[in-house]
Amino acid sequence: MKSLTIDELQPGMIANQTICDARGTILIAQGITLTESYISRMRKFNIKTIAIQDTEEDMEPPCSLSTPVVQRTITTLSALFDSLAEHKTIDIKKTAYQIEQVIYSILDKHAIQAFLEIDAQNELLYHHSLRTTIIAVNMGLAQGYDYLNLEYLAMCALMHDCGMGRDYQEDDTEHALLGFKKLRDNLKMDMIIALVCLQHHEYFDGSGSLGFNRSQITEFARLIAIADYYDRLIIKKNTPRQALFKILGGSGTLFDPDMVKLFQTTVLS
Amino acid sequence: MRILLVDDSSFSRITLKRYFADIEGLEFAEASNGIEALELHRSFAPDIIFMDITMPQLDGLGTLKIFSMVDSKAKIIMVSALGNQTYVVEECKKYGTFAVLAKPVSKDVAIKALKDAEKQLIAGENQ
């Protein structure tokens, strides 16, 4: 890996780091092939240098999409969309195709496939991860994120419980820290994925287990916290309406009010 | 000595770099928010971090808390317009920050903080 200045960049080179703007929106994603428009985008945002992949070894070829775990995930997703639609709470039918496309596009990544191999061994955890991803990406679409950010949001949501290993345990809060450390140690994992894992049980008012509050919690973690909570309530036998009211009731205390409003826009009236 | 400058204002980052321009042996990396700072921290492994507090997406206090979980070596100097507020200073101290400077920071104050942090790092290495 080498770092090049903006003047040395050529279209066709592959970025080896993710660069965000001041709002945290991704401008250049790791692994993306640079084009003239990306390079001029970098100039516009006054980005002076970027790490570039310079050897074949740095390049990670996409994996096959015909592996058993990917096939199982595609089939499972379809069933989960049906069951979520049956809740008649979240408006999922119109956006199902877009959500599927976003999730399919992250399934060819090595790290995602490796994670699914473990996750799929526990059906409860596997279904929870996938349902959280569907609900989160649905919110991301309502928020107007671009495709790249939707992909990152999907990866964060899918892996938010990776610290749990193979067991889904409702009361376990250690998994956030464990997952963060595991993801942070893997340089191929973007930091935002590790951060969402760390902060998805944090509450907006700072009463969560690690005490992060408000702007100390990343936007994706504030969004995914709601998707995750909704599904955990359903797992605990709440009805979809009960789950919805508990989320509304947690606005400003457990959850970012803006994210609760966003969630509400994805709810059937 | 590797220095990481974290601030959403490029002007603030440039100002600090200018202040330190005459000091030899410094290597700089820059981040404009907490996520970028944590990402860069993995590869750049800074010795000293100058960090703003009010930043979008993940602010300086949140980032400081995470640094305190993963890095006990780096000296963190918070640089913020909120640097005069007792609550902010207390919160920063709780998470092991080396110093809290109030913006706008003068050249002398910035260089003194850098030199003090450098001294402590060297003293720590010799122990």
Please enumerate in sequence order all residues whose Cβ is within 8 A of that of A60, keeping only pairs 6 or more positions apart, or say none: A31, A109, A110, A188
Query: Measured between CA atoms, how close is B117 to chain A, in angstroms?
Result: 25
Q: Which of B36, B67, B70 to mutate to test the interface with A (most CBs of A within 10 A)?
A: B36
pLDDT in tens, chain A (269 residues): 678 888 888 888 888 877 776 565 677 777 778 888 788 888 877 788 888 887 655 566 777 888 999 999 999 999 999 999 998 999 999 999 999 999 999 998 888 999 999 989 999 999 999 999 999 999 999 999 999 999 999 999 999 999 987 777 766 778 999 999 999 999 889 999 999 999 999 999 999 999 999 999 999 999 999 999 999 999 999 999 999 999 999 999 999 999 999 999 999 98
Report the alpha-carbon distance of residue A247 to residue A14 in Å, rounded.
Answer: 42
Residue of chain B whose Cα is closest to the Cα of A196: B35
CB B52 within 8 A of CB B9: yes
Question: Which contacts qualify for B11-17: CB closer than 8 Å, 24 or more apart?
Answer: B12/B52, B12/B79, B12/B103, B15/B105, B16/B50, B16/B79, B16/B105, B16/B110
CB A17 within 8 A of CB A30: yes
CB B46 within 8 A of CB B28: no
CB B61 within 8 A of CB B92: yes
A97 touches chain B (CB under 8 A): no
Report the alpha-carbon distance of residue A211 to residue A204 in Å, rounded.
Answer: 9
pLDDT digits over A123-157, tens only? 999 999 999 999 999 999 999 999 999 999 999 99
Tell me if residue A69 falls in helix, strand or coil. helix
pTM: 0.86
What is the 8-class DSSP label of residue A64? P
Chain B residues in contact with A210 (beta carbon < 8 A): 65
A211 touches chain B (CB under 8 A): yes
- ipTM summary value: 0.93
pLDDT digits over B49-73, tens only? 999 999 988 999 999 999 999 999 9
CB A239 within 8 A of CB B84: no
Helices (H) and strands (E) in chain A, counts: 11, 4
Inform me whether the pLDDT recorded for B124 exceeds 90: no
Query: Measured between CA atoms, how close is A35 to chain B, in angstroms?
Result: 22
On the 0-12 / 13-18 / 19+ scale of CB atoms within 10 A, A14 is middle
